[in-house]
Chains A and B, each alone.
Chain A
Amino acid sequence: GENVEQHPSTLSVQEGDSAVIKCTYSDSASNYFPWYKQELGKRPQLIIDIRSNVGEKKDQRIAVTLNKTAKHFSLHITETQPEDSAVYFCAALTQGGSEKLVFGKGTKLTVNP
C-alpha cells in the first residue's frame, strides 16, 4: 500500500522567513496530494493541493511543488507569520480499488515573532 514519509517532524523559523516541508510517497499511481493545517484540537484544514498532472501550484504565500518522477512533493510557505504555527500534514490519494488518503506523520511548525 501507499506509504507517505514527511520531514522534518518539527520546524522552527523566525517570522518573515520561509518554511519548507517535504514529503515522499511510494505508490506511483497516487494522483492527488493535499496539504492540511491542523491547530491543536481542531479539524485538519485544506490549505493547498496539487494533482499529478501539475508540477507547481501557488496561492499567495503558499506553494506546492510535485516531482512525479522522484515521487516527492513539498510545501513552501514564504513570509511566515506567527499564525502559521500549527501542525502540517501532507497526504496522498491512493488509486485502484478503494481510494484512500494516506497521511504523513506531520510537521509541527513554530514561527517565532
Chain B
Amino acid sequence: GAVVSQHPSWVICKSGTSVKIECRSLDFQATTMFWYRQFPKQSLMLMATSNEGSKATYEQGVEKDKFLINHASLTLSTLTVTSAHPEDSSFYICSARVGQGTWLSTEAFFGQGTRLTVV
C-alpha cells in the first residue's frame, strides 16, 4: 500500500512556542491530506482537510489561526501548532488518499502520528 510518513514522531515544547509537524506521501501524490487529533483513549477527530495549492478547510470548532496548515506540494502538508498550550497536548495524525484533482481513492493511509506534549 501507499506510504505516508509523519515527522517528528514525538515532540516536547514549552508553552507559548510553535511546533511544526510534517506529513509526506512517499510513493504517491496527494492533492488532499487530512489532519486528525486523538486524545488518550478517544477517537480520531478530523481537524482539517489540507488542499494542495489552496486554503485548508477546517472543521467546526478548530481554530485556523492556531492550527496553521500549509500544503505547498503534492507530497507535503504541514501542521503548525502556534502558541501551544498544555491543552494542545495530543496525538496528531495525518492521512492521505491516493488521487489527484477531484478523484480520490477510498482507502486512507495514515502517518505514524506525532505525540505532542506541551509543558
Please report the total number of B residues contacting A with Cβ < 8 Å: 22
Q: How far is the CB of A54 from chain B (nearest CB, A)?
A: 13
- Report which of A32, A43, A99, A100 forms a contact with B110, defined as CB distance below 8 A: A43
| Residue with the greatest number of chain B CB neighbours at <10 A, chosen from A43, A98, A101, A103 | A43
- A41 touching B42, Cβ below 8 Å: no
- A105 touching B42, Cβ below 8 Å: yes
Asked if B46 is at the interface of the complex by the 8 Å CB criterion, the answer is yes
Given contact pairs A42-B112, A43-B93, A49 touches B106 in the complex (Cβ within 8 A): yes
- B113 touching A43, Cβ below 8 Å: yes
- B108 touching A42, Cβ below 8 Å: no
Q: How far is the CB of B57 from chain A (nearest CB, A)?
A: 6
- Report which of A98, A100, A102, A106 forms a contact with B42, defined as CB distance below 8 A: A106
Asked if B43 is at the interface of the complex by the 8 Å CB criterion, the answer is yes
| A28-47 near B? 1/0 per residue, CB < 8 Å | 00001010000001111110
Instruction: Report chain A residues within 8 Å CB of B104.
Output: 99
Which residues of A approach B to under 8 Å, CB–CB? 32, 34, 41-46, 49, 51, 89, 93, 98-106, 108
New contact pairs (16) apart from A46-B108, A101-B34, A108-B41, CB-CB < 8 Å: A32-B106, A41-B91, A41-B115, A43-B111, A44-B44, A44-B93, A44-B110, A46-B1, A46-B107, A89-B43, A93-B106, A98-B57, A100-B49, A103-B44, A105-B42, A106-B43
